[in-house]
Structure 1
Amino acid sequence: MNKQKNNRNKWLHVRLTEAEHNAVNNAFSKTTSTKLSEFLRKQVLSKPHIGRYRNDSLNEFVTVLAALKMELKAAGNNLNQAVKKLHTLSDKKDMERWLITWELDKRSFQKSVDSIASHMDKINDQWFQ
């Protein structure tokens, strides 16, 4: 069972103009090939390429989602801290102050949720256009 080695020991030299070189690099950047030599071999030998597709609306969507995730996480942390504080209270005045703070945190949380819902509606509208 001898395995045949597939060493590439032959060179192919090609001269290109600046515009041709840029066109080759541009075409290469749109594929999943990791090396220019691999890309050019596929081109010359007429093998199929797997193209790379960048969706700008998806990039924007991911950026907005990341910001919304951070906002929601911060609001959730505030609510958790408020509940932890409730468990440590024993005085009636402290409870009244906690209720006021709780109501403010709850309103802030609701604004965050409304903001997220609004962004999701915008994204949904863009997606189905």
Structure 2
Amino acid sequence: MEKENANRTRIIGLRLTPHEYAKIEKKWRASTCRKLSEYVRRSLFEKPIVTTYRNRSLDDFMAEMIRLRGELNAVGNNFNQAVKKLHTLHQIAEFKSWLIAYEVEKKTLFNKVDEVKNRIQKMSETWLQ
């Protein structure tokens, strides 16, 4: 079986208006073709073009979960640093200040966890409708 790209030595120049190019680019981005030239070649030779279907609500959900995961990671890192610091303290005055900081971080962590739970609940209710 010969390679598909082995004899591609000829170039066709094609001028398009910005509107025409945007239309082609939109169709190309909705397909599974990695390169615009591949998409145009398939279109010209009437080969099948596989298009992707994106579930907008799922995309929105994933973006929201990624954002919340980042926030939880940041809070978790701060919490871990506070706990490590508490384990190394030897003086009572320093211990008290870190204990107060620990309580603040704990409240922040629990608030973020509750926010994640609420967002997941809202998204699941939306999907179930």
> Do Structure 1 and Structure 2 share a fold, with TM-score over 0.5?
yes
Letter in 1 for 2:31: T
Q: Which residue of 2 is the match for residue 80 of structure 1?
A: 80
Cα deviation code 1:87-120 (max 9, x no counterpart): 2212233333332222221111100111111111
Q: 1: CA distance between counterparts of 2:49 and 2:98?
A: 63
Q: Which range moves more in the overlay, 114-123 or 18-27?
A: 18-27
Unpaired runs of at least 5, structure 1: none
- TM-score with structure 1 length normalisation? 0.68
The structural deviation recorded for 1:43 is 4.3
Q: 2: CA distance between counterparts of 1:3 and 1:51?
A: 26
Q: 2: CA distance between counterparts of 1:45 and 1:109?
A: 57
Kindly name which structure, 1 or 2, has the bigger radius of gyration based on alpha carbons. Answer: 1
Q: Alignment partner of 2:32: what SS?
A: coil
Q: Which residue of 2 is the match for residue 58 of structure 1?
A: 58
Q: Which residue of 2 is the match for residue 68 of structure 1?
A: 68
Q: 2: CA distance between counterparts of 1:28 and 1:48?
A: 13
Q: 2: CA distance between counterparts of 1:24 and 1:99?
A: 60
Cα deviation code 1:27-72 (max 9, x no counterpart): 4443223455544554455432211223322332232122111210
How many correspondences in the alignment? 127
Q: 1: CA distance between counterparts of 2:78 and 2:19?
A: 57
The question of 1:118 aligning with 2:107 is answered: no
Unpaired runs of at least 5, structure 2: none
User: Structure 1 pair 103/47, CA: closer, same or farther in 2 (3 Å)?
Assistant: same
Q: Which residue of 2 is the match for residue 128 of structure 1?
A: 128
Q: Aligned Cα RMSD in Å?
A: 3.5
Letter in 2 for 1:69: R
Q: Which residue of 1 is the match for residue 102 of structure 2?
A: 102
Q: 2: CA distance between counterparts of 1:83 and 1:11?
A: 64
- Percent of aligned pairs with the same residue? 36
Q: 2: CA distance between counterparts of 1:120 and 1:98?
A: 33
